[in-house]
Amino acid sequence: MIDTHNSYFIILISGVALFLYGMGLASSSLEKLMAGKITILLNRLSQSKFLAILTGVVLTTLMQSSGAVTSMLVGLGSARVINLRQVMGVIIGTAVGTTLTVQFISLDLGNYALPIFAISFAFYFKSKKTVFKNLSVIFMGFGLLFFGLKMISVSSHHFAENPMLTDIFQNLRDNPGYSLLISIVFCAFVQSSAVTIGLAMSLAMVKAITFYDAMLWVYGANIGTTSVALIAAAGGNYIGRQVAWAHFFYKTISVVIFYPFTQVFIDFLANFDTTISRSIANAHLIFNVLSAVIFFPFINKGAELIERMFPKAASEEFGTEFVNMNNYQSSALAISYANREIMRTADIVLGMIKDSLKLFESNDPNDFDSIKDRDNKVDFLYRETKMFLLDHANKSNTVVHQNVMAMIMFLSDLERAADAIDINILALAIKKNALKLEFSEEGWIEIRQMHEQVTKVAAMGINAYQNQDLCESAIQLKRDLAKVEITLRENHISRLNRGLNSSINTSSIHLDLLSEYRRIASLLVNHAYNQRKNA
């Protein structure tokens, strides 16, 4: 099956390469196939600890790497999209998720690797639809993964019989700390706990290492995989560092807790009539599931401890990123960077619009605090950017002055839109929750419809600020929204006439919310009328 005329060392390296490439191929195709689902999962991280853990399991299954998932979380944290408390459960879930991959590779499917790859390639070659092509690539990736594992297994037999290597393996058995250290370094190098444990399985199958040594490789792989996130966090902000180190401490403390019970694991699993590969995979599963159970009650305490260990530095306090009163003496450069700050402000406002509906779905204080915090940031950016622009406008020619005034007007509209959410919509949500009111089923569907339309108008209005060609589209969307609002008002009045109690009780809140959403949309499209007039 494999050309053994090559060096066994080359076969080993090639096997590892094919294993990693196949895993990456399957991972990238799974991501493409499930991209929308991943976004939905990430948007709901803070709703439940159980959901956060499930999210970690699903994401790790899709991306085939707990390190890759944690690195993604580090990136989101560095971008201030998430915070540590939201993703502590996800970090625990990634540890459980990676056991599914190890369980899969513990099955002896090497003899089916090439047929799986060949059949998958045939489907890929003939498929027209993207979804079928992605599915075919997923199975092609698994075919390469199993073939790589087979190559690792073949080379392992040779290494186990090599007299010089036999002495090395004996030395490792006599010094368990070496096995742990080597597995940590190897996992950090290949950036995959699955391939590290896969190699341990192959070595254990040919009796190069014992089951006990393989367990040390499992521990080392769990610690080594944290290096991916630690590297990703280098140079990031405090949230990224918190996520990366939370992952490291969770894995390391788990190993410290379970290390004394390693022999108990081995004795327990010896009662089952399975192959050594399956026993190692099962030990990895038990280790991570029990770790998750132990740490689950302490998620919030753990997050609090990590936040204290890695606090926000004074230099990481929220502030402007692109404008500085002492820089950019060139007016053209000043305007360019001010526009970037304005778009940063616009992103915050658009996020507030998207999340405003959550205020009516639950009575979570975190949602209310988040809106207020973001409004404060918008106010700060509005004040600083406006002062920066006025300073440069006073030193510039008439044309630049006109551009600056247009920028300030748009910035002002953004600030007013944020205030509308923080003051008016927030007040409506507080009133609804305080009175324990519920919208009628039809009314809630219509509010969601209005919210979805407003989000589209807002996004188009922001894009039109950057691209004047979109101004007409933004204006048309705003006109369509006005028609939608009229229709929804008429529907609500119709429900009032039918005497629907839930509509009667929430009538003022319902109608005021529709008005506020329409006003917000109008604010973000105001500039389009002026730009069209000046075009």
What is the full DSSP assignment across 336-370? HHHHHHHHHHHHHHHHHHHHTTHHHH---HHHHHH
> pLDDT at position 1, please?
47
For residue 364, tell me if it sits in a domain: yes
391/271 same-domain check: no
For residue 3, tell me if it sits in a domain: no
195/338 same-domain check: no
Q: What is the mean pLDDT of residues 19-41?
A: 61
Question: How many domains, the chain?
Answer: 2
Q: Pick from 277, 309, 341: which residue ends a domain?
A: 309
> pLDDT at position 244, please?
86
For residue 1, tell me if it sits in a domain: no
272/395 same-domain check: no
User: Encoding tokens for residue 217?
Assistant: 């490789």
Q: What is the mean pLDDT of residues 489-508?
A: 91
96/243 same-domain check: yes
Using alpha carbons, select from 328, 323, 367, 364 the residue that is nearest to residue 345: 323
For residue 221, tell me if it sits in a domain: yes
> pLDDT at position 45, please?
53
More confident residue, 301 or 26: 301
Q: What is the pLDDT of residues 183-236, one digit of tens each?
A: 888 888 877 787 788 888 877 887 778 888 888 888 998 898 888 788 877 766
Query: Which single residue is written with the structure tokens 């521990």?
Result: 219
Rg of the chain over all Cα atoms, to the nearest angstrom: 29
Burial of residue 258 (CB within 10 Å: 0-12, 13-18, 19+) is buried
Q: What is the pLDDT of residues 121-171, one digit of tens each?
A: 888 878 877 777 878 887 887 788 777 777 776 776 666 566 666 666 677
Q: Does residue 34 surpass a pLDDT of 70? A: no
pLDDT grade, residue 78 (50/70/90)?
low
Using alpha carbons, select from 137, 129, 67, 135 the residue that is nearest to residue 97: 67
CATH of the domain at 363: 1.20.58.220
220/364 same-domain check: no
More confident residue, 387 or 418: 418
Q: What is the pLDDT of residues 313-344, one digit of tens each?
A: 655 566 777 676 454 455 666 777 788 889 99
Q: What is the mean pLDDT of residues 455-465?
A: 93
Angle between helices 276-295 and 211-224 in degrees, nearest 10: 50
For residue 317, tell me if it sits in a domain: no
Query: What residues have CB less than 8 Å from 102, skipping those under 6 apart?
Result: 193, 194, 197, 198, 281, 284, 285
For residue 342, tell me if it sits in a domain: yes
369/501 same-domain check: yes
Domain of 187, in residue numbers: 8-309
Query: Which single residue is written with the structure tokens 């040779």?
Result: 158
For residue 174, tell me if it sits in a domain: yes
For the ranges 27-36, 441-450, 463-472, the lowest mean pLDDT is seen at 27-36
Angle at Cα 219 formed by Cα 217 and Cα 221, nearest 5°? Answer: 65
199/297 same-domain check: yes
Q: Pick from 246, 274, 309: which residue ends a domain?
A: 309
303/347 same-domain check: no
For residue 158, tell me if it sits in a domain: yes
Instruction: Compute the mean pLDDT over every residue in the chain, rounded to the nearest whole number.
Output: 80
Q: Does residue 414 surpass a pLDDT of 90? A: yes
More confident residue, 531 or 53: 53
364/299 same-domain check: no
Q: Does residue 403 surpass a pLDDT of 60? A: yes
pLDDT grade, residue 175 (50/70/90)?
confident
Q: Pick from 276, 309, 342: which residue ends a domain?
A: 309
> pLDDT at position 36, please?
46
104/235 same-domain check: yes
368/240 same-domain check: no
Could you give the CA distance from residue 523 to residue 416 in angstroms, rounded to a whole number?
8
242/377 same-domain check: no
